[in-house]
A and B are shown apart, each in its own frame.
Chain A
Amino acid sequence: MLPYIILALVSLVLGSLTGIYQFYHLTYLSLGIPLAILYIHKQGMKNLVINRRLTQERIFSGESSQVRLTVTNGGRWPIFWLSYDEVIPHRLHIPPSKQGVSFLWPGEKITVDYCLDGNRRGFYTLGPLKIEAGDGLGFLEEKMIYETGQRLIIYPRLYPLEQLGLPSRIIYGDLVWPQKIYHDPGRVRAIREYQPGDSFRDIYWPGTASLGELLVKEYESTITIENLLYINLNQQEYQLKGLEPKVELAIEVAASIAHYLITHNQTVGLVTNGIDPLQGNQSIAPGQGLDHLMEIMELLARLELAEDAPFIPLLEEYRQYYSPGSTVLMITEIDSAELMEKSLDLCRRGLNLLIIVLGDQILHTEYLNRPYTENLVILSVEHKSLGREEDIYGRGA
Chain B
Amino acid sequence: MKEYQQICDKIITNIEQVIVGKRMVIENTLICFIAGGHLLLEDVPGVGKTILARSLAVSSGSDFRRIQCTPDLLPKDVTGFSIYDQKTGDFRFRPGPVFSQVILVDEINRATPRTQSGLLECMAEGQATIDGVTRRLPTPFFVLATQNPIEFDGTFPLPEAQLDRFMMKLSIGYPTPTDEVEILNQVKTEHPIQTLESVINPAEILKLSQLARQVFVDPEVSKYLVEIVTRTRDHSDLVLGVSPRGSIDLYHCAQARALLLGRDYVIPEDIKELAPIILSHRIKMRSESRLRGRSGTNLIKDILEQVEVPVVREG
Contacts and interface: CB of A to CB of B under 8 A. Distances in A.
Contacts of B84: 205, 208-209
Nearest to B154: A224
A186 B83 CA distance: 20
A294 B72 contact: no
A289 B153 contact: no
Contact of A205 (B81, B115, B291): B81
Nearest to A59: B292
B288 A292 contact: no
Contacts of B91: 209
A155 B82 CA distance: 56
B244 interface: no
A277 B308 CA distance: 46
Nearest to A298: B291
A14 B114 CA distance: 99
B152 A57 contact: no
Interface stretch (A104-112, A280-288, A348-356): A280-288
Given A205-B82, A206-B131, A208-B84, A155 B291 contact: yes
28 contacts: A56-B293, A58-B291, A58-B293, A59-B292, A183-B72, A184-B71, A185-B71, A185-B73, A185-B74, A186-B113, A186-B114, A186-B115, A201-B72, A205-B82, A205-B84, A208-B84, A209-B84, A267-B153, A286-B153, A288-B152, A288-B155, A289-B152, A290-B285, A290-B287, A291-B290, A294-B291, A294-B293, A297-B291
A381 interface: no
Given A184-B112, A185-B72, A288 B291 contact: no
B96 interface: no
B290 A288 contact: no
A262 B81 CA distance: 38
B141 to A, nearest CB: 25
B157 interface: yes
Contacts of B83: 205
Interface string B233-272: 0000000000000000000000000000000000000000
Contacts of B157: 288-289
Interface in B145-202: 149, 152-155, 157
Interface residues of A, number: 32
Interface string A37-60: 000000000000000000011111
Contacts of A206: 82, 131
Contacts of B290: 290-291, 293-294
Nearest to B77: A201
B71 A57 contact: no
Contacts of B114: 186
Q: Is the interface of A mostly helix, strand, loop or mixed?
A: mixed
B291 A285 contact: no
Interface centre among B82, B83, B153, B155 (most CB of A within 10 A): B153
Nearest to A185: B72
A259 interface: yes
A134 B246 CA distance: 58
Contacts of A186: 112-115
A294 B91 CA distance: 52
Nearest to A285: B153
Contacts of B81: 205
A396 to B, nearest CB: 16
A263 interface: yes
Given A185-B74, A186-B112, A293 B82 contact: no
A39 B149 CA distance: 52
B301 to A, nearest CB: 17
A288 B113 CA distance: 16
B153 A287 contact: yes
A59 B288 CA distance: 10
A159 to B, nearest CB: 14
B288 A393 contact: yes
A230 to B, nearest CB: 19
Nearest to B75: A186
Nearest to A269: B153
Nearest to A263: B287
Contact of B292 (A58, A185, A267, A285): A58
A305 to B, nearest CB: 24
Interface in A262-310: 262-263, 267, 285-294, 297
B112 A287 contact: no
